[in-house]
């Protein structure tokens, strides 16, 4: 029995060895855990031809939508770690699910390859609002606990929801969380004056900010964001909060390092391609390349933060 | 206002762009006519193929698919009572009775004209009054959307027909289906039976295809004997002229067109609701409301005109605010993003040729519907009726399975669709109407979500539902629609009393 296993292992190692040398030698599946036409799908299909160019391989986008992405993430976690199945993962949503319900994956089920996009969270009000700064909002939240509704683009457990909870615990103010489920209706409700404050991502606000229709109170990034250099961060305004949503590419756990490096390198080249950079800039996509090891560190830190947040105050009973 | 349009016109008229809209319109008609395949899916599949194209070529194809599919859906709706797209459910009310009476060709022609005119009215609205219309979009908050959903649900009253109890039961079944999935507010799983596939709720297309496409297939298999309609039925009969009845159709088109535009600019409502309300209103003001549902040409005209008038209008909030007015508008937005065009207020200033070019394309593709839909389509598609049911039944089944599988690349959806097929078969056999189920599924979700948002924002104060004048107006309209049958009834009684 043992011998059989050993032989099998040896055989698979040998197979892996030959595969490594000329990887990639057949088309690669790129799992997107959302429907065609969604934000992640568009991002995937936009960068796909550029990765193909530098990896010199065919990449097929495979949409596996369902359960807010969980079905696709699970499919990715359970695929063969041979480098021919990779997929987009969305942080922190992917990890948040594993606290809210039983998922068939955890952080250990993935091999991080590279981060592509980091879109910091923001709090925004309509341009004519009385709330001029983050301090105004916090003060109101202290004076009138739970009176100020803040709309979020996600549902319970989204990065925006957790961000509001963090603001509350850091400042002592209390707000009224209103989950809109997606960005477009939230932004329209903000423009129409139906919700006074909204939490969503910077990339989806820039154009409306430049038009003077909304005012961004603060950006939840470490340093000022390139696309909104005159908007102060939360840190500058005394609230130590850095969060947002990010998209990256990962594979199932146990992928050979050579393949990860090759993929990661091709993604870096793709993201530096002038044509791609121009496209991303026009579409207000905040690019942020992280190579495999830095991405792994980031994933670990995010997961730990989530674990702490869940421990302290579970966002779903 | 017209200067940017005139500037964009020569670009639109370049031959690659013209070829694109022709290819788009024809393929849209085919996609729309196949149950299970929708414009949303067609455009989504097209997006990666458009990388190397000029933006306007890509958008031209999308505009064509959009308008084409919304008309194409009416073809199986009329010929087989199977809606090719969700909005064409409404066309199944009067289309098939006309076909049974031997007026299939006339019904197809009305659908084609009405779709084209609805699409054209809507495109003109998009070109001329998009900015003021956007302001209307902004007036609608959660409370107003809740009442819009209730208004839509009220039109179920019209669909009840002779057996209101069965109709209401079907509507409740639809509302129940709309509750499946994750609760956005609390994150709890509802009616998901521990299946990950149900967490996002039921896909409308899966339910629609199951309920509508499978029962006819089962019935055809039962009948087994070949009973294709005689080809004489495919020709227009004497008196089946739209021009001769233009006075009847013009007010229907105008009313349905305006309804479609208004529904279109409200994000999240979509063509189904436009078609339902347009049909409802046309029936309500008609001197002979009882003839609807029994093959009244005006019913087909209202449904198709309303649903195509939704098309370009749904692009108004999509282009200016980045909020898609329908599922199709959402994938068109994605197509814009792929070409580095970020929808929003700056789009009009930075890429006027693309935006205004797209508007012209929406108008041109509507006109193309007349050309292809009129002659080509009903010559080709009407041949379906010659196929013996023994062959047609497995063909429908195959199309339904393939269409539903490609939605999410998952076999679970196929089983779900087959399950709904059985439910649909039992329902039709026992005389339960199917349309209220779909309406309940579409609007139940919207009504619930918006109701809860309103109460959350206002900390449980339910008077907030009635606070804005706009809310009150929609409440008033809903009451009017609901009490109309009663008013009509009282009027007739008074008239009878006077006569006696």
Task: Dump pLDDT digits (tens) for B397-453.
Answer: 888 898 888 877 889 999 999 999 999 999 988 988 888 898 888 888 889 989 999
How high is the ipTM of this complex?
0.82
Q: Are the C-beta atoms of A177 and A152 separated by less than 8 Å?
A: yes
Q: What is the pLDDT of residues B275-332, one digit of tens each?
A: 998 998 898 888 888 888 888 999 999 999 999 999 989 888 888 887 776 778 888 8
Hey, how many other C-beta atoms are within 10 angstroms of the C-beta on B164? 12
Hey, how many other C-beta atoms are within 10 angstroms of the C-beta on B284? 16
Low-confidence ranges of chain A (pLDDT < 50): 1, 11, 13-17
> Nearest CB to B409: which of A62, A100, A149?
A62
Q: Which residues of B touch A178 (CB under 8 A)?
A: 453, 456-457
Cα B172 to Cα B150: distance, rounded to the nearest angstrom: 14
Q: Does A67 sit within 8 Å of B200, measured CB to CB?
A: yes
Q: Are the C-beta atoms of B159 and B435 separated by less than 8 Å?
A: yes
> Nearest CB to A185: which of B47, B268, B344?
B268
Domain with CATH 3.40.190.10 in chain A: 120-228
**Where do the H-state alpha helices sit in B322-351?**
327-338, 345-350
Q: What are the φ/ψ torsions at residue A253 (nearest 5 degrees)?
A: -60, 145
Cα A34 to Cα A71: distance, rounded to the nearest angstrom: 9
More confident residue, B49 or A88: A88
Can you say whether residue A284 is alpha, beta or left, with left for phi > 0 and alpha for psi between -120 and 50 degrees?
left
Which pLDDT does position A250 carry in this prediction? Answer: 95
Q: Does A188 sit within 8 Å of B323, measured CB to CB?
A: yes
**3-state SS, residue B187:** coil
Q: What is the domain partition of chain B in residue ranges?
A: 3-499
Q: Which residues of B touch A282 (CB under 8 A)?
A: 340-342
Can you say whether residue B241 is alpha, beta or left, with left for phi > 0 and alpha for psi between -120 and 50 degrees?
beta
Q: With cut-offs at 50, 70 and 90, classify the pLDDT of residue B226.
A: very low
Q: Are the C-beta atoms of B339 and B347 separated by less than 8 Å?
A: no
Cα B436 to Cα B177: distance, rounded to the nearest angstrom: 12
Q: With cut-offs at 50, 70 and 90, classify the pLDDT of residue B225.
A: very low
Cα B295 to Cα B96: distance, rounded to the nearest angstrom: 7
Question: Which of B74-83, B253-262, B321-330 ranks highest by mean pLDDT?
Answer: B253-262
Chain A interface mutation, best of B456, B468, B470, highest count of A Cβ atoms under 10 Å: B456
How distant is the alpha carbon of residue A278 from its chain centre? Answer: 21
User: DSSP letters of B140-175?
Assistant: --HHHHHHHHHHHHHTHHHH-TT-HHHHHHHHHHHH
Domain with CATH 3.40.190.150 in chain A: 2-118+244-312
- Segment B385-399 shows an average pLDDT of 81
Which pLDDT does position B300 carry in this prediction? Answer: 94
DSSP classification of residue A174: -
pLDDT of residue B233 exceeding 70: no
Instruction: Report whether CATH 3.40.50.2000 matches the domain A2-118+244-312.
Output: no
Rounded (5°) CA angle A12-A18-A20: 95
Q: What is the rounded average pLDDT for all residues in chain B?
A: 85
Rounded (5°) CA angle B401-B404-B407: 150
Q: Which residues of B touch A177 (CB under 8 A)?
A: 456
**C-alpha dihedral, A227 to A228 to A234 to A240, nearest 10°:** 30
Cα B113 to Cα B125: distance, rounded to the nearest angstrom: 18
Q: Does A194 sit within 8 Å of B457, measured CB to CB?
A: yes
* Domain covering A120-228 in this structure, CATH number: 3.40.190.10
Chain A interface mutation, best of B139, B194, B340, highest count of A Cβ atoms under 10 Å: B340
Q: What is the pLDDT of residues B169-179, one digit of tens each?
A: 998 999 999 99
Which pLDDT does position B470 carry in this prediction? Answer: 92
Task: Tell me the shortest Cα–Cα distance from B247 to chain A, in angstroms.
Answer: 40
Chain B interface mutation, best of A34, A36, A105, highest count of B Cβ atoms under 10 Å: A36
> Nearest CB to B340: which of A36, A70, A278?
A278
Q: With cut-offs at 50, 70 and 90, classify the pLDDT of residue B230.
A: very low
């Amino acid at each position: 029995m043992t011998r059989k296993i050993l032989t099998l292992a040896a055989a698979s190692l040998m197979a892996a060895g030959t595969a490594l040398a000329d990887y990639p030698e057949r088309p690669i599946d790129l799992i997107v855990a959302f429907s065609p036409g969604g934000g992640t799908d568009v991002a995937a299909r936009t960068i796909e031809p550029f990765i193909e160019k530098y990896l010199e391989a065919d990449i097929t986008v495979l949409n596996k939508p369902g359960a807010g992405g969980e079905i696709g993430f699970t499919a990715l976690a359970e695929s063969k770690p041979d480098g021919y199945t990779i997929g987009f993962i969305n942080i922190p949503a992917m990890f948040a699910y594993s606290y809210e319900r039983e998922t068939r994956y955890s952080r250990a089920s993935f091999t991080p390859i590279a981060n592509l996009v980091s879109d910091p969270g923001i709090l925004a009000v309509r341009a004519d609002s009385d709330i001029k700064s983050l301090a105004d909002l916090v003060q109101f939240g202290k004076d009138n606990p739970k009176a100020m509704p803040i709309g979020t683009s996600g549902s319970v457990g989204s990065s925006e929801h957790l961000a509001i909870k963090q603001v509350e615990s850091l400042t002592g103010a209390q707000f009224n969380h209103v989950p809109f489920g997606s960005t477009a209706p939230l932004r329209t409700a903000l423009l129409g004056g139906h919700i006074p404050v909204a939490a969503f991502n910077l990339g989806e606000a820039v154009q409306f900010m430049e038009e003077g229709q909304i005012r961004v109170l603060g950006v939840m990034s470490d340093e000022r964001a390139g696309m909104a250099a005159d908007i102060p961060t939360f840190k500058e305004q005394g609230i130590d909060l850095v969060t947002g949503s990010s998209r990256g590419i990962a594979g199932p756990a146990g992928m050979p390092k050579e393949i990860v490096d090759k993929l990661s390198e091709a993604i870096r080249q793709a993201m530096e391609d002038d044509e791609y950079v121009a496209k991303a800039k026009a579409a207000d996509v905040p690019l942020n390349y992280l190579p495999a090891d830095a991405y792994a560190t980031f994933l670990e830190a995010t997961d730990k933060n989530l674990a702490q947040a869940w421990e302290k105050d579970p966002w779903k009973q | 206002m017209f200067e940017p349009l005139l500037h964009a016109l020569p670009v639109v008229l370049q031959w690659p762009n013209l070829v694109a809209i022709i290819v788009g319109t024809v393929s849209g008609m085919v996609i729309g006519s196949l149950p299970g395949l929708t414009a949303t899916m067609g455009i989504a599949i097209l997006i990666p193929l458009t990388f190397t194209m000029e933006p306007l070529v890509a958008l031209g194809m999308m505009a064509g698919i959009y308008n084409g599919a919304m008309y194409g859906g009416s073809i199986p709706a009329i010929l087989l009572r199977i809606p090719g797209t969700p909005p064409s459910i409404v066309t199944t009310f009067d289309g098939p009775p006309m076909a049974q009476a031997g007026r299939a060709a006339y019904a197809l022609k009305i659908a084609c004209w009405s779709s084209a005119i609805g699409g054209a009215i809507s495109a003109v609205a998009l070109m001329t009054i998009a900015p003021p219309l956007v302001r209307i979009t902004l007036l609608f908050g959660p409370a107003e959307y809740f009442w819009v959903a209730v208004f839509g649900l009220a039109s179920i009253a019209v669909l009840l027909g002779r057996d209101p109890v069965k109709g209401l039961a079907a509507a409740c079944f639809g509302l129940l289906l709309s509750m499946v999935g994750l609760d956005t507010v609390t994150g709890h799983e509802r009616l998901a039976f521990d299946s990950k596939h149900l967490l996002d709720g039921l896909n409308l297309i899966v339910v629609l295809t199951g309920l509508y496409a499978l029962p006819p297939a089962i019935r055809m298999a039962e009948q087994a004997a070949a009973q294709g309609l005689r080809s004489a039925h495919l020709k227009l009969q004497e008196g089946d002229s739209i021009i001769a009845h233009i006075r009847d159709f013009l007010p229907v088109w105008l009313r349905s067109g305006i309804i479609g535009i208004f529904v279109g600019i409200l994000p999240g409502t979509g063509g189904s609701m436009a078609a339902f309300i347009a049909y409802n209103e046309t029936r309500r003001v008609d001197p002979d409301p009882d003839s609807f549902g029994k093959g009244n040409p005006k019913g087909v005209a209202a449904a198709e005109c309303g649903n195509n008038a939704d098309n370009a209008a749904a692009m108004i909030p999509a282009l200016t605010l980045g909020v898609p007015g329908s599922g199709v508008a959402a994938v068109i937005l994605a197509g814009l993003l792929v070409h580095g065009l970020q929808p929003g207020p700056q789009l009009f200033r930075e890429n006027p040729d693309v935006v205004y070019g797209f508007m012209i394309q929406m108008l041109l593709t509507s006109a193309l519907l007349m050309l292809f839909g009129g002659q080509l389509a009903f010559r080709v598609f009407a041949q379906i009726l010659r196929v013996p049911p023994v062959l047609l039944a497995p063909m429908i089944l195959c199309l339904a399975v393939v269409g539903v599988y490609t939605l999410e690349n998952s076999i679970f959806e196929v089983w779900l669709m087959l399950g709904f097929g059985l439910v649909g078969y039992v329902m039709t056999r026992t005389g339960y109407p199917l349309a209220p189920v779909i309406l309940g599924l579409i609007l139940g979700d919207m009504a619930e979500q918006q109701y809860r948002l309103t109460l959350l924002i206002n900390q449980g104060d339910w008077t907030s539902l009635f606070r804005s004048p706009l809310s009150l107006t929609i409440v008033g309209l809903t009451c009017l629609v609901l009490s109309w049958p009663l008013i009509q009834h009282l009027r007739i009684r008074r008239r009878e009393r006077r006569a006696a």
